[in-house]
Structure 1
Amino acid sequence: MSEAKHDRIDQFFILHASRADLWRNVESVAAKWSNGTGDAAEVKAAVAEIAVIEEFHAVPGHAAMRQLEQKIEAGDAKAAWTLARRISEIILTNRGHGEAMEDLADEDSADILPGAMGGEHGRPSFETLFVTAQPASRWPALCEEIRRLRRPEDQFVYDSVFVGSFEDAVCAAIINPRIAAVVTADDMPYRSRHDAPVLRKLLDPVLHYEDGVGSGVDLARVLKALRPELDLYLLSDRNVEALAGDPKADCIRRVFYAVEEPLETHLSVLEGIAARYETPFFDNLKKYAQRPIGTFHALPIARGKSVFKSEWIRDMGEFYGINLFLAESSATTGGLDSLLEPTGNIKKAQEYAARAFGADHVFFVTNGTSTSNKMVVQALMKPGDIAIVDRNCHKSHHYGMVLGGGQPIYVEAFPLTQYSMYGAVPLSAIKRAMLDLKSEGRLDRLRLIDLTNCTFDGHMYNTRRVMEECLAIKPDVIFLWDEAWSGFAHWSPFLRPRTAMGAAAALEEYLASPAALDAYETQKAALGKHPSDKALMETRLVPDPRQVRLRVYQTNSTHKSMSAIRQGSMVLVRDVDFPHVESQFHEAVFTHASTSPNQQLIASLDVARRQMELEGYGLVMNAISIALKIRAAVNMHPLISKYFRILGADQMIPAEFRSSGFVDFLKPGTNWGDIAKAMREDEFYLDPTRMTLVCGTAGFDGTQFKNLLANTYSIQLNKTSRNSVLLQSNINNTRSDIAHLIRVLVEISRGIEEKLRNGGESAKSAFAARVKQLMEDVPDLPNFSRFHDAFRRDAGKKTSEGDMRTAFFGAYVEAECEYLPLSSPDVDKRLAHGPELVSANFVIPYPPGFPIMVPGQVLTRETIDFMRKLDVKEIHGYEAAKGLKLLRADVLAAKSR
């Protein structure tokens, strides 16, 4: 391949997102050649640019590509353009079945395009990858043999992609998201005939094939690591019995003797897809909606008669459609199931979700991840237990501590003061808190480490390293990872290792290996019998695998990043000791879950899982591709970049947490090998789909800019800071969304230019002052101070945990509280001379959205100064007319005594 092709093949993780563009380019240059304004050389170059990509797709296929090249060589411009147009439309519309092609021109090429893309007669379709050592000249015949196995009664239709090497198989699985199953030979050549240095940078360190022959089992393991949803089948002409019993082959769905039963292979492929396609609850709900049901329960809207027979609310029925009402019920019998005590289709749907996300158990939650977090905290912690908690986490964690009586040790995330936001909590802060507890003899009280991954702004922890080092200090500590914003990450090979379930699976496998015990014994010898805290802080700790009890919980806002209805959430569990807490977990579910859960919401969780198992990889990689395009379009635009910019990884993550040296996705020369290295090594990693757009440099604070986009340009977003807004790409976004955003930013930027040009020096001075106020005159971010001694069981100890529950409910006694206006000189006097100001409740400004005061917290000058500088309108827990709600000093003094 040419050097340009080297670059293109090594951008394989986002190639599928640009495939339609490349075909549109082929069509465009072919059209110009056909009308006499272009030439064949330009068309030939455009086809060559996409030829390598098409090797890994069943549609348009080898025959169509060969015919297109032949038409170009023959100088038949019109025929080349017609065929290029047909292929381009198939790729763009994702419809390639026979009925769609009959309406198009060039009947002589109709039989060379495979008929499965987009589904034959409406059947869902996919592609199956076949890895074979047979010569490429045999592949067309093999494709046709497989097509002849199709039957009218098959639920799905698939076409075949053939490759002849280990590396090509990996490339195909990465480049082609339509591949849903892989059938591989036992042995095949290892190297691709293409040069792919970045792919080799990823694979060669872990695979060593001196003889140049790749193993089918090793290929299956690599593909399972990249795309765990794939169904993998192995064909062997050797000892299939031994292969089937090999523990290394446990990722393979079935082993076949290579020369037997091609129909059985075909049926197995379809059966594997059917297992992922099944949605137990949704399928059952559809059947329920078709039955004639008499309802004598407390849900008048069920079956829709009260709606459609009404003159006054019939429009609601017309808006939502009849099925919404036919599928409503408050019954949990007669074919339905109970979310609180599932025994049927809901239980099965949750088991399928556990399979999909790599968990042992999954629980559906219908009132958001706020509730999921409170469920987990309540289930795992009893009053007096200690938790190490990110102070900047979602308020549901703090309220969970209040409800359960857990005592938090708040650890601070690194600050991004200029943008009035926090990052994530350095591992050193977590280890310091654990070692302080250990030195004071209270490590046994530590129950839970509670962190947000990823943060609202995209900071992802090195979850495996955090768990390994914490387990080295306390081998039975439990982890709760709030992944409300990153449930989709499981479907990306670059994000999955940083998820709770992805890291737990890798850690579980490692701890079972001899290498884990060897590493522990080596480190134990190096540290000595009684290592100092300093040595432990400076060492990358490894746990004793014989002592570890791996207990990991993940909460997942399915509705935030997948196709679930709002408030759809899941709790994912991978806990070796779950049988010991299962009953109390169910009690927490009973406490928080509604006894009247929304049926449609449960169904959407079921369907969201199905979608991600069958097409999640392609959807997520497309979302990443869109985010990278937005980053480039904003930061490289000559006008937009004068006033706006999207922050890079180097601006969002301090250098000390980027040991790989990774700078940013847009840095020239950066490739997927660099990104993978950063994912493996760095303490924090930036989710590319979360883009912090600085708007303070355009004179807007975050709230102003958010409202401008929503009210004037119909662009919606959620999170803001003092001088930035957060853009998120997701599986719903398209290239049209990028175009709309860029056009809007251009229009706003032109408006700024015009105001500055027409307003003269006064306008320029006012603009500069506004930018300085937003970008430079920013308040320092206050850290958590401490709990008042009245709420400390061990006052005077190093660690800062406190009985927040008692402080919270103490505020219910109004006579024991007082109010002080924020601007009152009494506030400053008490800060200087006492008595201490102690918050009676949570105070949470939006933005930035973290609690700057919690019940029982002693307020400091930094906290008060921050509050006084805030210019946001929404501050939960603070009434400006009354002032700060404080616990009275005399009451606290009495309690302390």
Structure 2
Amino acid sequence: MTYPVSTEQAPHSLIGAALATPALRADRWLSVLSVARRWAESGAAESRGALTRALADLKEFERFFAYPGAALLDRLNGWLDDDDAKAFLRLAQRISTTIVSKKYHRDVNAWSTDEQEDDPLNRLPQAITHQKNTPYFEVLSVVPHAPSRWKLIHEEVAGVRRPEDDFVYQAVIVGNAPDALTAILLNPDIGAVVLYEGFSPDGSGDNPLLDVFRSVIDISPAGDDEIHVIRLAQAIRKIRPELDLYLLSDRNIESLSGRPESRIINRIFYQMEEPLELHLSILEGIRRRYRTPFFDNLKRYAQRPIATFHALPIARGKSVFMSNWISDMGEFYGPNLFLAESSATTGGLDSLLEPTGNIKDAQEMAARAFGADHAFFVTNGTSTSNKMVLQALLAPGDIVILDRNCHKSHHYGCVLAGAQPYYVEAFPLVEYSMYGAVPLRTIKQALLALKAQGELHRVKMVDLTNCTFDGHVYDTRRVMEECLAIKPDLIFLWDEAWFGFAHWSPLLRQRTAMGAAAALTEELAWPEALAAWEAQRKALGDAPSDQVLLDTRLVPDPRAVRLRIYQTNSVHKSMSALRQGSIVLVRDVDFEHVESQFHEAVFTHASTSPNLQIIASLDVARRQMQLEGYGLVANALQVALEIRRQVNSHPVISKYFRVLGSAEMIPDAFRASDLKDYNDPEMSWAKAIRAIKDDEFLLDPTRMTLSCGHAGFDGTTFKNILAEKFNIQLNKTSRNSILLQSNINNTRSDIALLIRVLIDIAMQIEQKIAENGEASRRAFQNQVRELVEDLPTLPNFSRFDDRYREDATGDTLHGDIRRAFYDAYNEAECEYLLLDSEEVDRRLQSGPELVSANFVIPYPPGFPIMVPGQVITPGIVAFMRKLDVKEIHGFNRSLGLKLLKRTAGDGAGA
């Protein structure tokens, strides 16, 4: 048997195939279409032979999909057998474009076996054809029956459909467990799975695609239960947890229903005694995910005739539509935006601050969708989400291990909470003027240093960004395991503003906060976890040195661990939510003890007039991801992989531009797999598996750092050119690069536009050099050298001034950032020095020390190179002087550096 992803067939790398599995299908059909065109044009025998082989492979591949189905494939093979190239091309064109456009979801005619037939054989039931915009999905049936009986199952599915059904589905049938797992990996349309007890647990032939998931995701049974159906159900849940599962059994189902492990099954039926009830249960399961409590209610509210006597004139829209001067606003946005506005929390609406109705219901649904215990909607962005979590969990004097390069909201959160940040440094990428992520060894060193100084009890939290702006993804599970081995009650805040989509990628989910939390919860409950800890304690002894602890892969004591994990998520950054739509996800065993203070933090930061449309969009974004997120994310990954491949392999573009791979973005020490690039065609399955599972840092495939320095452009200039001349928008830049991001909104047309623009720019560069001669070539080379070689050294955090440190003689780095922040409010105690002045150089050399009075954050790179109370070093000044960016928060070039004055009582030398 030829499986869908083999080393001979995969057009890209193996890791790319595993990450973007559902996108493989369209590639195959477009390849068939390309060969069909050549056959129709030339009649060449080799093209016909290639099509014969391709269709044989497609037959194995397409059995995991309802469309195009056996009838259309047989018709296509018939045209091939009849040597009718034109008819073959017409049908191949129709099938391939239907698959790419997903027309079969909404157009019954796409299922026709003959475009001329009045009554096509493979058409959906006539009752369904009269329903417009009926959502479509597919149901996987895993059966013990011979393939000759599968037609009867299709007939049973068709027989229970009714005109009043609010969804329509087709069946996909397989006969064993490996094929079932392959189907849910390949087919994003599958929305439910029906397991007929008695199917085979084994398949035939090798399946390398399934092997990678077996290695990365533990899909073995949780316990000793050998029942095949439970094993398969557990595996499906770990790969695609959003799917509904139904079991048909001929055993004592009453007893089976009482087994704890059977709780993962939505409902158990006694064989096929109730086919209509199974059908209705499947629809109810989809309806449950489709329901959007707040959005549904808001639509109903907008349809009601309401008179408003509250302070929101724009509600109902009369002040807009009846105006002589601003009615164009109403025409632009349409009436529903205004009809769905209110400042009331009564009459069917709910309060975001204290939800008791549909907002509470929507948040609970979001928590289940993301694998959290609690979820909180935030309409002020993840900046506010971060400050809420920090204020809720930290008190004055607490210490937080904090990535110095994280978003400024974390630093301001420490100021608000009075917590003392212990800054840890990410590895630098000087050649691209950016930082990566914080090595685990650095985090452990900070914890052990605080332990040696007797302050470990004050450390309440580890706060990191996952993934970073530039795409560095942590091994979240390992970070938490090793930190908990040192301090078992640590709280973790993972800022996953950019990474929310990853929950719907089975491989990337393992590196999210909630994905790792689920794995850790399961792992710590196993007897093997305690045995591993006891074995390590015996091996290390009662008082291992810090060096030994740093060099050891630590495991925590499962009896002592308190899993307390928080994730903030900018839903608007990677899902279909309005701007500033964010969510806080909680998986904290002690949440009941901090819930009241968490709500106080919400009251502190959340607006009392939250935007109802943002709340509704969060509700809808959850619905979309639960029902089609798996396929959408796979497409986003495929778009990114294709951009990487096209840019880096193009003979002209690659001379001036390059999408940086793992080898450039992650130092060798953090890539045990030696993964260099996602599109490496020589990468083995073993390396792909090791990269995803074991590398300390993985690069988010959807975040593409495009190096533009070799084209003579700094990042800001190139970003502006793309926006102003070519209508291509992006956000983040560095001195010699821009950041491209693919998401669920991108299409292949976007790829084509980008590649065309890069070709045009590259050819213009070549033409300009050729026309202007040697002088132009040397000037271009000098410009490139300045951008790619003459780069400022990235400064690390220095230290807090001694007056903001409790123990100025100690080795630890934390300080009272809050007191420094408010000391700067007293202008009499502040001074300003121009950045390029001789006085700055004199003070750096002979004192008194320069102490920053505020945050200074250049964009790019976007991290604070100075924080309140920090001692300014020569390296920081040198970096500032080389910056050519216009946007520097906290720095007024005409006034200079704002400094906290030094006095005799400060306790520091001149």
TM-score band, normalised by shorter chain: over 0.9
1:189 touches 1:214 (CA, 8 Å); kept in 2?
no
- Say if 1:128 and 1:183, in contact at 8 Å, map to a contact too: yes
The equivalent of 1:638 in structure 2 is: 651
C-alpha deviations, 1:672-699, integer Å up to 9, x for none? 6643321211111111000000000110
Would you say 1:556 and 2:562 are equivalent positions? no
The one-letter code matched in structure 1 to 2:190 is I
Q: 1:676 to 1:835 in 2, by over 3 A?
A: same
Q: How far apart in 1 are the matches of 2:633 and 2:288? A: 22
Provide the rounded CA distance (Å) in 1 between the counterparts of 2:627 and 2:550. Answer: 44
Taking structure 1 as reference, are residues 635 and 77 closer, same or farther at Cα in structure 2, changes over 3 Å only?
A: closer
Aligned twin of 2:102: 94
C-alpha distance 497-25 of structure 1, shift in aligned 2 (>3 A): closer
Which stretch has the larger CA shift, 230-239 or 445-454?
A: 230-239
Paired AA for residue 570 in structure 2: S
Q: What value does the CA root-mean-square deviation take over the aligned residues? A: 2.3
Matched, 1:155 2:163: no
Alignment of 1:232-381 (within 5 A): 232-381=245-394
Which residue of the partner structure matches residue 20 of structure 2? 14
Matched residues in 2 for 1:613 and 1:896: separation? 61
SS of the residue aligned with 1:835? Answer: coil
Indicate if the aligned counterparts of 1:382 and 1:405 stay in contact, CA closer than 8 A: yes
Q: Deviations along 1:576-621, whole A, 9 cap, x unmatched?
A: 1111111111111111111111111100000000000000000001
SS of alignment partner, residue 132 of structure 2: helix
1:816 aligns with 2:829: yes
Q: 1:144 aligns with which of 137, 144, 155?
A: 155
- Give 5+ residue unaligned stretches, structure 2: none
Q: Which residue of the partner structure matches residue 875 of structure 1?
A: 888
Cα gap change, 1:850 to 1:102, in 2 (>3 Å): closer
Instruction: Describe how 1:599-614 pairs up with structure 2 within 5 A.
Output: 599-614=612-627
Indicate the SS of the match to 2:679. Answer: coil
Question: Following superposition of structure 1 onto structure 2, how do residues 464-475 of structure 1 map, counting pairs within 5 Å?
Answer: 464-475=477-488
* Distance in 2 of aligned mates of 1:293 and 1:358: 38
What's the counterpart of residue 511 of structure 1? 524
CA distance in 2: counterparts of 1:535 and 1:812, whole angstroms? 46
| Partners of 2:43 and 2:85 within 8 A in 1 | no
Is residue 2:142 matched to residue 1:131?
Answer: yes
Establish whether residue 761 from structure 1 lines up as the match of residue 774 from structure 2: yes
Name the structure 1 match of 2:715: 702
Mapping 1:561-640, distance limit 5 Å: 561-640=574-653
Which deviates further from its counterpart, 190-199 or 316-325? 190-199
Distance (Å, rounded) in 1 between the aligned partners of 2:243 and 2:697 = 29
Partner of 1:250: helix, strand, or coil? Answer: helix
The secondary structure found in structure 1 opposite 2:72 is helix
Q: For 1:410, which of 385, 406, 423 is the aligned residue?
A: 423
Deviation string 1:31-52 (CA, Å, 9 cap, x unpaired) is 6656774564454344334322
Structure 1 position 72 matched with structure 2 position 80: yes
Amino acid at match of 1:6: S
Q: Given that residues 5 and 49 in structure 1 are in contact (C-alpha distance below 8 angstroms), is that contact kept between their aligned partners in structure 2?
A: no
Structure-2 change in CA distance of 1:756 and 1:550 (3 Å): same
With over 3 angstroms needed to count, the CA separation of the structure-2 counterparts of 1:214 and 1:65, relative to structure 1, is: farther
Write the letter of the residue equivalent to 1:91.
I
Match for 1:651 among 664, 673, 687? 664
Match of 2:625, SS state, is helix
The partner residue of 1:801 within 811, 814, 826 is 814
Task: Render the CA deviation track for 1:216-264: whole Å, top value 9, x for unaligned.
Answer: 2111111111111111122222232343233333322122222432222
Q: Please, which moves more after superposition, 244-253 or 505-514? A: 244-253
Say whether 1:44 aligns with 2:57: no
Q: Is residue 112 of structure 1 aligned with residue 153 of structure 2?
A: no
Mean alpha-carbon deviation: is it higher for 434-443 or for 728-737?
434-443
| Number of aligned positions between the proteins | 894
CA distance in 2, matches of 1:339, 1:880: 42
Q: Following TM superposition, by how much is the alpha carbon of 1:191 offset from its aligned partner in structure 2, in angstroms?
A: 3.5
Quote the residue 2:66 is aligned against: 58
Deviates more, 1:4-13 or 1:679-688: 4-13
SS of the residue corresponding to residue 650 of structure 1 reads helix
Q: Distance in 1 between matches of 2:130 and 2:864?
A: 51
| 1:98–1:120 Cα contact (<8 Å) kept | no
The one-letter amino acid of 2:537's match is K
Residues 895, 808 of structure 1: alpha-carbon distance in 2 compared, 3 angstrom cutoff: farther
**Is residue 198–residue 671 contact of structure 1 (8 Å, CA) maintained in 2?**
no
Residue 185 of structure 2 corresponds to 174
Q: Gaps spanning 5+ residues in structure 1: where?
A: none
Q: Distance in 2 between matches of 1:71 and 1:642?
A: 45
Q: Distance in 2 between matches of 1:245 and 1:45?
A: 50
Structure 1's 726 and 13: CA in aligned 2 closer, same or farther, altered over 3 A? closer
2:34 is the counterpart of 1:23? no
Q: 1:251 to 1:109 in 2, by over 3 A?
A: same
Decide whether aligned partners of structure 1 residues 109 and 196 sit closer, same or farther in structure 2, where only a CA change above 3 A counts. farther
How far has the Cα of 1:658 moved from its partner? 1.2
Is contact 1:119-1:157 (8 Å) kept? no
Q: Deviations over 1:675-727 (max 9, x none)?
A: 33212111111110000000001100000100010001000001000100000
What is the distance in 1 between the residues matched to 2:19 and 2:834?
A: 56
- Give the whole-Å Cα distance in 1 for the aligned partners of 2:50 and 2:677: 34
Q: Kindly provide the amino acid, as one letter, of the partner of residue 666 in structure 1.
A: N
Looking at structure 1, the residues matched to 93 and 379 of structure 2 have their Cα atoms a distance apart, in angstroms, of 46
User: What amino acid does structure 2 have at the position aligned with 1:61?
Assistant: G
Letter aligned with residue 151 of structure 2: P
Counterpart-to-counterpart distance in 1, 2:231 and 2:758: 48
Q: 1:514 to 1:335 in 2, by over 3 A?
A: same
Selected match of 1:165 from 145, 164, 176: 176
* Distance change >3 Å, CA 484–CA 115, structure 1 → 2: farther
Distance 1:14 1:119 in 2: 35
> Aligned partners of 2:330, 2:770: CA distance in 1, in Å?
54
TM-score (norm 2): 0.95
Of 639-648 and 97-106, more deviation after overlay is shown by 97-106
CA-CA distance at 1:664 after TM superposition: 1.8
CA distance in 2, matches of 1:574, 1:703: 40
CA contact (8 A) 1:14 1:175 kept: no
Q: Match of 1:392?
A: 405
| Secondary structure, counterpart of 1:364 in structure 2 | strand
What is the TM-score with the length of structure 1 in the denominator? Answer: 0.96
Tell me, yes or no, if the aligned pair for 2:848 and 2:909 is still in contact at 8 Å: no
Alignment partner of 1:435: what SS?
Answer: helix
Q: Which amino acid aligns with 1:136?
A: P
The answer as to whether partners of 2:111 and 2:123 remain within 8 angstroms in 1 is no
CA-to-aligned-CA distance 1:53-96 (integer Å, 9 cap, x gap): 21100111122212322342244555544443442343233222
2:679, 2:94 → 1: CA distance?
35
Partner Cα separation in structure 1 for residue 130 and residue 302 of structure 2: 26
Shift of 1:25: 4.5
Kindly indicate whether the alpha-carbon contact (under 8 Å) linking 1:63 and 1:113 is maintained by their aligned counterparts in 2. no
**2-structure distance, mates of 1:544, 1:866:** 44
The answer on whether the counterparts of 1:130 and 1:183 sit within 8 Å (CA) in structure 2 is yes
